[in-house]
Amino acid sequence: MLKAIQIRGCVTLRCWSLKQSLSFISISSSFNSKPFSSFSPIPYPSIDSSTPRPRRLRFTPFHASSSPPPPPLLHSAGVRNIKFCQWCGGPTKHDIPDGEEKLRAICTLCGKIAYQNPKMVVGCLIDHDNKVLLCKRNIQPSHGLWTLPAGYLEIGESAVEGAIRETREEANADVEVISPFAQLDIPLIGQTYMIFLAKLKTPHFSPGPESSECQLFPVDEIPINSLSFSSMVVTLSLYVEDVKAGKPKFHYGIINKRPGTSPSDIHAYTLDHHMHL
């Protein structure tokens, strides 16, 4: 179940669809030797015969001084929406507790602090006979657009168990997880995607209540312009890149979507701090 994701902000970066043969600049990190403060362009594999075009990826080295502060609007708005204590019902005040640096909602009766933390979205990238299983969303947001089966991780389950559950719920598919594939943080909306490579245990699938269709797409026919979220564009772009290169990797990256741009523009983002191994 993923009923409300990526509903805020996008950046204005132009990005070209897979069908237009993306040129993909990947910021790579060689392991334990040369960190990703250096980067090398890696050509995006050509999906068809058209001319590769550049996609700009913003690069910021990973060090403390460059760590941007949390977007104040998101954090502040989220905290200020907490008006009552969920444990005792007392009214909250919004203040910076002693020894901390961030605004919190603090109960004026019992003194408890309501911390807010990012949420994990877990899902499966299922390859079956060189085709990828996608679900057409039957719910908002992004109704009618394609997604990997994915949703919020629940308390009490592991990321793998959550990804398997979401796949069962959205595609009625019984899968076996093969490997972690990607961790993609989206700080602006307080989400982290964890996508696992998986395979069908039986070749059966059908739309669950939150899907109107489930379909296998060859990697060069993925409907990149009809995907539901930027996270899906990034995940599937990286997967196609890996498949063409002959070896899937594990990817970490930050999807930066800027406030004030259209949430429906799924190609409007920068993929920053991309590392893979």
The footprint of a copy of itself on residues 9-68 (CB under 8 A) is 29, 31-32, 35-37, 61-65, 67-68
- Asked if 270 contacts 57 with a C-beta cutoff of 8 angstroms, the reply is yes
Does the N-terminal peptide bond of residue 141 adopt cis geometry, omega within 30 degrees of 0? yes
Q: What is d(CA 191, CA 141) in angstroms, rounded to the nearest whole number?
A: 15
- Asked if residue 112 binds a copy of itself (CB under 8 A), the reply is no
In terms of CB distance, is 18 or 121 closer to a copy of itself? Answer: 121
In terms of CB distance, is 157 or 221 closer to a copy of itself? Answer: 157
| Distances in whole angstroms, Cα of residue 103 to Cα of each of 72, 82, 92, 168, 254 | 10, 12, 12, 39, 24
Restricting to residues 162-201, which ones interact with a copy of itself according to CB under 8 A?
A: 164-165, 167-168, 174-180, 183, 185, 187-188, 190, 192, 194, 197, 199, 201
- Asked if residue 144 binds a copy of itself (CB under 8 A), the reply is no
Least Å from the CB of residue 20 to a copy of itself: 27
Which residues lie below 8 Å from residue 152, measured CB to CB, with a gap of 6+? 1, 2, 119, 120, 121, 122, 162
Least Å from the CB of residue 50 to a copy of itself: 28
Which residues lie below 8 Å from residue 218, measured CB to CB, with a gap of 6+? 130, 131
In terms of CB distance, is 31 or 50 closer to a copy of itself? Answer: 31
Of the candidates 52, 94, 95, 160, which one interacts with a copy of itself according to CB under 8 A?
A: 160
Restricting to residues 226-245, which ones interact with a copy of itself according to CB under 8 A?
A: none
| Distances in whole angstroms, Cα of residue 172 to Cα of each of 60, 90, 97, 202, 213 | 41, 43, 47, 11, 11
- Asked if residue 102 binds a copy of itself (CB under 8 A), the reply is yes
Q: How many residues bind a copy of itself (CB under 8 A)?
A: 84
Restricting to residues 72-91, which ones interact with a copy of itself according to CB under 8 A?
A: 74-75, 78, 81-89, 91
CB count in 10 Å sphere of residue 192: 19
Least Å from the CB of residue 167 to a copy of itself: 8
- Asked if residue 108 binds a copy of itself (CB under 8 A), the reply is no
Q: What is d(CA 4, CA 23) in angstroms, rounded to the nearest whole number?
A: 31
